[in-house]
Every structure is written in structure tokens, then in C-alpha cells.
Amino acid sequence: MSRKLWTYHGGLHLPDEKEISTARPLATLPLPRQLTIPLQQHIGEPTTPLVKVGDKVLKGQKIADAGAYVSAPLHAPSSGTVTAIGMAAVPHPSGMSAAAITIETDGEDRWIEDRNPVSDHKSLNPTELREKIHQAGIVGLGGAGFPSFIKLNPGARTSIDSLIINGAECEPYISCDDMLMRSRPEAVLEGAQIMAHALHADTVIIAIEENKPDAYAALRAALHGCGCSNVELVMIPIRYPTGGEKQLIKVITGREVPQNGLPIDLGIVCHNVATAASVFDAVIQDQPLISRIVTVTGEGVAQPQNLIVPLGAPIESLIEACGGYTEQAERLVMGGPMMGIAIHSDEVPVIKTANCFLLTRIPATEQSVRPCIRCGACADVCPAQLLPQQLFWYAQANDFEKVQDYNLFDCIECGCCSHVCPSHLPLVHFYRYAKNEIWEQERERGKADIARQRHEARQERQARDKAEREAKLRKKREALKAKESGSDKKDEKDSKQAAIQAALDRVRAKQHGGDNKPKNIDNLTPEQQRAIDEADARRQRMRDQEQQPNTKGEGQS
């Protein structure tokens, strides 16, 4: 029986344009002469280099380690020599540079020797699996780039019912996941099983859009072969942005992720199909994330195609492998036409989250922006059920408190509102601007809070030191005052008298035999004992004489 599917508010039916890049088979990019590995390719903290300039590295060798919990290590995509560690151009809309490691490849593509493949993932417990996935540097390959081992750790108190593997790939032009499912269905299935084992998930649902029949058939054949009874393949309608996590959950389960919540709050975790295949590579083959499938497409490239690309390869090498530019190449976009970012150079490297490079003409709509006419079309297509025009007004006015009242952070930046806007307003740009400003204010507020706490702690320490100094001075003044009043002399006199009296008491006790006991009197010879007896007798006679009344002088006066 087929699963009942649901729908969600808004969304668009767009021409998919995927046949442009799927007409040619998947190919492997020739190894570039130089690879540039940015130290930050994911959400979270940047990595720390483990190599230095001049070091020889092997394929799969860890070259940068995670600097924080939300981070992922980096590995050498091929063997060669580290030629630079420093600032390099990275794929960013601002054209910014960032720290990166540059490797001059040697053409041998030689792997490290101490690899440790695992034949059965169930021989590892969930903690060991997560650590292996973490050390392999795997992040979400659907575009977000969140470290995968964190999403595979729901915590002891959270129960996961379903793992959803996202093969929707709803944005136009992008076809890398389609080609992956066609070429490596077994890796997707086993990777999903590994993640389900790590999550203790009961059910695995693989969602595929209806425009990918070949991928569906390949997965169904692989599923029949593996006999995985807990895996369900679901074909979903073509609609943008069904590939969004919250929208996909609504379509498959009919449930809605709560506002400001996460899918895990519903007992659901979502991962991309490419992430599942990378988990398979990491656990079963002990191969870190050093390459991925990338779509190179659009009317601006001569032979659109999907390529298996080592991370760090310059984008120009991908375009060259696809026949080079055409006269229609005016804009280079990383990602799809709806959510991608325009980049200004093809000399920047491929990173983990780069799933597509799209070469297009510059749309004429970008040159004809007009005022908002409040038609409401943006609200009709918003899958998050927001009020885009209100968000636009407040973002434009820099009213960041008000824009949050309208749930700015529920916006998934799908671009549906901008796409249908008759005034061609770049609405998503304003939302991104507002989000960045709010995050910046939060960071500044955090710094100010830390500075305030330090100032308050300093003031408390100074007050404490002052109180201690005053207490010492007060004590000294009291001592001096007591000395001046003579009480100290009286105390000193009393102390001396007490000492004299104690000495007299000790002498008196000694004279009366007290506790003076003879020492060393064990094992005496008879002569020694006789001498002691005679001495005692003499002392007794002397004491008796001292106690008799003195009669010599009586009557002389």
C-alpha cells in the first residue's frame, strides 16, 4: 500500500531543467595541479592546520583538525606537497578571502596506508560510528554543511522514530543527487542503515521526486537485493521547495515542525542522500570526505555534466572539463537559481557544500526593480506562511525588533517570494541582510555582556580588597589604642606572674618527690643498689633535719 502524502502552503512549480546535465554520464574530473582547501567549509568553527609548508601529504591524510565541537576535520584530497597556508580566495558572494591550505599534487594520487575498513557496521556501537563519521569530516552535503555526527546524536532522552533520506533535489538545474542515486544506490542504502543504527531509528524513508525515475528504479533494485525491511522508498510530487527539511517532513508525515523547533522534536532526523553515501564511505571503506559529485550546468557552459570532483579543485578546471564557456555565460552561481549565491571568480575552489555551478545570463528582472504594490503574491507562495512584504518593509527600515516579531528566522530563504514579485524586489537579499545584522548585534551584545561582567567582577574584587585593608587598619588602631591605655602592660605583668607561679609550683613539687622518679635503675648490681640506698638515706636525714625546729638560737636573745 502506498504511503499517504500531504501538502504544504505555498511553493512553486518550476521547470526543472535537469535534463541539461543528465544527458551525459557521470565523469571524473582530471586531477588538478593545485588544490586549495579552505579551513572553514561548514557551519561552525574553522579548523586548525596540522601541516606546515613543505610537508608531503598523502591522499586521505588529515591536514586540519576540528577546533570546536561544531566543526569537522579536513583531509588531503590527493597526495602532494603543501605549498602554502594563508589567505586565499573562497567561494563567497563578497569575493572575500579566507585561510586555506594549498597542496601541489604529485599526480600519484597515493592513499595513506593505515586505513581501517569495516565489513559490518553493526560491529560498531553508535558512539563509535559517530566518532568515525566525525573524524571523516562529513558535513551535510545538501547545502547547509552542518557537521553530520551532531545530527546523529539525538541524546539519551530523545527517541527517533524515522530517518528521512532527502533525495528530493527540488531546485532547478541541480542533478548531482540524481546521478548519485543512479550510480551508487547501494552506498546510499547502506549509509542510511548506518545512520539509522547510530540513531536507533526504527524506520528509514528515502524520498525521491517524480522527475527521477531512473534513480528510483536503481534504489528499488538495490533495496530488493539487500532485503532491508525497514527502508521505504517514497516518490513525492515535484514542487519547490519540497527539498526543504520542514516541507519534506510535512509532505511525508503530515506533521509540522514547531516554530523555533527542529525535526528531532518530532522524533525525526533528515539527511541528504549524498551525506548517506559519504557515511558509507567513511565507515565501510574508511575514506574521509575528500570528493563529491558536482553539477556544472546552464546555457553558459558548452557541455553540462556531473563530475566527481576532489575538494579544493578550482572551478575553472570543472568548466574546462565541461567544454568551457559559451557566449551566454554572464553569471556564475554556486547552487541553484533559487537559493544559490553569485560568485565573482572561477578561480575559487570547490568546497564540501558546493553541489552545483550554474552559468547563466543575468536576468533582466534584476535591472528593473520597482516599488512594492502590495499584491500579496509573495505571501501566497511562502512555504513558511510568513508575510514577506512586512518583513521587507521592516528589514528595509532597519527595524530589527519588528522584523523578528514577524518570524524572520522561520524564513528558509527559498526565494519563492522574490520569484513571483511583480516589482522584482530582491526580497531574500533583505532577509539575509536583516539576519546578518541581527546576528552581528547579538555578537556585539554578547561581547558587551562579557565586558560588563568583567567590569562588575573587577569592582567586586576592588571592594573586597578595600574592606580587607580597612579591617587590618582597624585592628592595628585598636591594638595601638589598647597599648596606649596600659592594658597591654597589665596583661604582660599578669603573664609574667603566672609564669613565676608555675615555676615555683614545679620546684615545690620536685622538692616533695612529686613525679621525680629515678632513671636508669633497671638491672642494678648489688653495689649500685646499695649506693643508691645510702644516698636516699642521706637525703632523707637532711630533709628530717630541715623540718626539725631550730633550737640552737632559742633563748640567746
> Of 165, 151, 167, 168, which is closest to residue 264 (Cα–Cα)?
151
Distances (CA, A) of 332 to 23, 335, 520: 21, 10, 108
Is 375 flagged in the annotation as binding?
Answer: yes
**170 among annotated binding-site residues:** no
Distance between CA atoms of residues 13 and 237, nearest Å: 10
Check whether 382 is labelled as a binding-site residue.
Answer: yes
Letter string b/e over residues 462-492, b meaning 16 or more CB atoms within 10 A of that residue's CB: eeeeeeeeeeeeeeeeeeeeeeeeeeeeeee
Identity at 273, one-letter amino acid code: V
411 is annotated as contributing to ligand binding: yes
Report which of 373, 365, 366 is spatially closest to residue 392, judged by C-alpha positions. Answer: 373
CA geometry: angle 72, 75, 78, nearest 5 deg: 155
How many angstroms separate the CA atoms of 15 and 172, rounded?
7
Write the DSSP assignment of 51-65 as a string of letters: --TT-EE-BT-EEEE
Instruction: Quote the CA–CA distance of 281 and 307 in Å, as a whole number.
Output: 18
Which grid cell is 319? 568548466
CA distance 378 to 390: 10
Annotated binding-site residue? 372: yes
Query: Which grid cell sits at 115?
Result: 586505513
- C-alpha dihedral (294, 298, 299, 300), degrees to nearest 10: -60
Instruction: Provide the 10 A C-beta neighbour count for residue 334.
Output: 23
Please state, in angstroms and rounded to a whole number, the distance separating the CA atoms of residues 343 and 357: 10
User: Is residue 66 within 8 Å of 74, Cβ to Cβ?
Assistant: no
Q: Is 109 exposed, middle or buried (0-12, 13-18, 19+ CB in 10 A)?
A: middle
Annotated binding site for [4Fe-4S] cluster: 372, 375, 378, 382, 411, 414, 417, 421
Annotated binding site: 372, 375, 378, 382, 411, 414, 417, 421
